Structure 1
């Protein structure tokens, strides 16, 4: 099977635990682009949170694609053209933010250069035996300035690509169904990490966004290879001609993947490209 495009998740897939692209993986992705294969970054991160990695992979030169907010926004790095976009309806966003006031969670919304939160000092979550400043972590990942707004529902008067909810994993696991129940049939909602639960517009997945842009790249789904590690990658892995789960992926993702490669800390993407393409 000829592969003409490669889509990959970022955190836990392309990036290692130090949040960098290893030299081996970078070299492999530059080589496939030199061969004419398109590279698609496919992340739950906000659009600005992909820019430095796209630059590192010379994706402007090779006409690469950036898929952000789990598929709610797709950008052509060469032309800066928005190829696909599907934000939440404003009233739905406001209703979700109002509903979240009943839960012990940290909602975050982004607009232009700012990330808005209820309390910049209420920022700690517990994960993997560590305390994480989750608000600083997310703001840094997106390159955002932080702004504190007590009433996000009342404040929000702009379209959102997603509403991000952060909390301790055990709390989210216990309450996520209550959080999404009033909006069933209106939104898509899923985990992008054990401590992140996200609301996007109904039907939004990485697969839907990729399907919208592949014809513009003259690529068929059978000619797509995709890499991922989490729940928000499942639709993409199932959609691709070859879906590859990282060794550190969830059990559920490994069960639907066509192949399993090494972990994100072991150059799993480079290993798979060398095995199947070079």
Structure 2
């Protein structure tokens, strides 16, 4: 069936390696919206970090939905209505941030216009053999001002929807089980890239947020196509009527999908949607 909801991960899915929406993909998403389809941008990114993609696709004209923080919050772009919101408990946030002091990672939390870190001059990490300033990358990607806080655990006395930790990929792979051990039964803990390990409220994932948002906007059955490439996309790919793994997706995502398309640099989203909206 022709989808009337298109749910898209951002990095490695909607955008190419230059972090831009490729032209054919943008064109077919605009066409789908004109035919009454709603677009859901579902990402580990924050709401501010999703805004530029929403603007590029004119989601404000078509009641597009932003699902941020790996499912911690969902917002109607046109009205600003919060369709779903599930932050961590304050005590949980403090416990995670206190526990992270034992590890060689960079915790990051956001509030309003600011992203809070221990060290705004944190040394770069190494990704694919190159140095990568992950704190600057995350701040610029979300249009945040950086603010340095020595003790994030003591500071975190407000609703937090996601605690992001960044580190050397080999280090995270060796230590993530210790990092998540105290919280494995009480929080959702996952990799969203080989240099990112994140904590959200229990049961929070992209699929749960999308379901909650769709229940608010419509009582009728909606046909969902979902596209992704990483571990945090599996829930929405399994939930969708048509779950699509990108050609660059990892093996677990491909195993969960109904269909495997081309990579993000080959316009895999367009390659699938042209069958419905060309």
Smaller-chain TM-score range?
Answer: over 0.9
Shift of 1:220: 6.2
Shift of 1:277: 4.4
What is the aligned partner in structure 2 of residue 95 from structure 1?
A: 95
Kept in 1: contact 2:38–2:63 (CA 8 A)? yes
Distance 1:220 1:43 in 2: 25
What is the aligned partner in structure 1 of residue 86 from structure 2?
A: 86
Query: TM-score, normalised to structure 1's length?
Result: 0.98
Shift of 1:123: 3.6
1:183-198 alignment runs, 5 A limit: 183-198=183-198
1:11-160 alignment runs, 5 A limit: 11-160=11-160
Paired residue secondary structure (1:48):
helix
Distance 1:8 1:220 in 2: 21
String of CA shifts for 1:240-270, please: whole Å, max 9, x gaps. Answer: 0000000000111001100011111111101
Shift of 1:120: 1.1
| Distance 1:158-1:274 versus aligned 2 partners, 3 A rule | same
What is the aligned partner in structure 2 of residue 5 from structure 1?
A: 5
| Distance 1:219-1:131 versus aligned 2 partners, 3 A rule | farther
What is the aligned partner in structure 2 of residue 236 from structure 1?
A: 236
| Distance 1:251-1:276 versus aligned 2 partners, 3 A rule | farther
String of CA shifts for 1:196-216, please: whole Å, max 9, x gaps. Answer: 000000000000001101123
Residue ranges of structure 2 left out of the alignment (5+ in a row): none
Distance 1:244 1:103 in 2: 35
Distance 1:108 1:219 in 2: 37
Paired residue secondary structure (1:237):
helix
* CA RMSD between the two structures: 1.2
Distance 2:276 2:231 in 1: 24
What is the aligned partner in structure 1 of residue 212 from structure 2?
A: 212
Distance 1:55 1:171 in 2: 37
Kept in 1: contact 2:28–2:277 (CA 8 A)? no
The runs of at least 4 aligned residues of structure 1 exceeding 3 Å deviation read: 219-222
Distance 2:60 2:149 in 1: 36
String of CA shifts for 1:129-187, please: whole Å, max 9, x gaps. Answer: 11100000000111100011111001111110010000011110110010010112110
Residue ranges of structure 1 left out of the alignment (5+ in a row): none
- The reply to whether residue 251 of structure 1 matches residue 266 of structure 2 is no
Distance 1:3 1:38 in 2: 9
Paired residue secondary structure (2:100):
helix
Paired residue secondary structure (1:254):
helix
